Copies of this chain bind each other. A is one copy, B any other.
């Protein structure tokens, strides 16, 4: 390449980095003719930077995370960064594996941790690697950058809505209590219930794992109780789908027999039978914000300066047809 243009490799490098060079024309001609592209591996070795961001989410087939990743991807590409993607499959061990594996291959990491107690993120941070949380936080995560939503308020909105319809026999299928959204959504829900003078009965206070199957099974369990609830809150999109399938299979009328309100909207939410009432929140936007936060850190070459930056977005109630007054 350098030979073809009749200059040294150093000059080619300078040209590529935007320096003024006498032989620019000849070099560019050679680049085009040979389709030359500098070796990323060599650049990384020299510079210690890879222009690659590691992204670890629990499940890319969850439409929420798919949207978040899409936001990250477009925000990163605009700035010349690429994305190394991994699924943790809701497992801390797997998260540890993928994080450890990618740590020397990326300039920074965006992570939705499997649990708030995960320790690997702390090691990542201690290693000087910029880290941003999205969707989920770490216990004591105040010192980390994060893009979250007000899950507690979202839980409150769901409970308030059901209370306002007159429900008293209310159930919740929460996510893992070791995760931020799992815990906060339930806490907000319980708080608002208490504000309304209601208690979340133990048999109506169920915990799933953010997967469809758990929503399905736990809903069957609720339906089998002597006196089933008249209203149900499902703490994420996949469990909502599972719950809806269980209600559907058991021929339970919505909202006549059971009202249901989910957390996170579905693309088909308005088309369901009946249309689904949900607590909605920004999705693609969260990915964009998280990526920008991380790239700012990288840009400053400063991974701690100015303290942590934490963005909390609002949720909002979308009333549709799956919630109504309780059955008599």
| Interface flag for A161 (CB, 8 Å) | no
- How distant is the Cα of A52 from the Cα of B106 in the complex, in angstroms? 12
Contact B60 A82 (CB under 8 A): no
- How distant is the Cα of A102 from the Cα of B104 in the complex, in angstroms? 18
Contact B241 A84 (CB under 8 A): no
Chain B residue, CB-CB nearest to A273: B273
- How distant is the Cα of A308 from the Cα of B76 in the complex, in angstroms? 34
Contact A103 B37 (CB under 8 A): yes
Please state the number of chain copies in the assembly.
2
Q: Secondary structure at chain A's binding surface: helix, strand, loop or mixed?
A: helix
- Which of B74, B212, B271 is close to A273, meaning CB atoms less than 8 Å apart? B271
Cβ contacts under 8 Å, A37 to chain B: 100, 103-104
Contact A45 B52 (CB under 8 A): no
Chain B residue, CB-CB nearest to A44: B41
- How distant is the Cα of A86 from the Cα of B266 in the complex, in angstroms? 23
Which chain A residues have a beta carbon within 8 Å of chain B's beta carbons?
A: 35, 37-42, 44-45, 50, 52, 59-61, 63, 66-67, 69-70, 73-74, 77, 82-87, 98, 100-105, 123, 212, 241, 244-245, 248, 266-268, 270-274
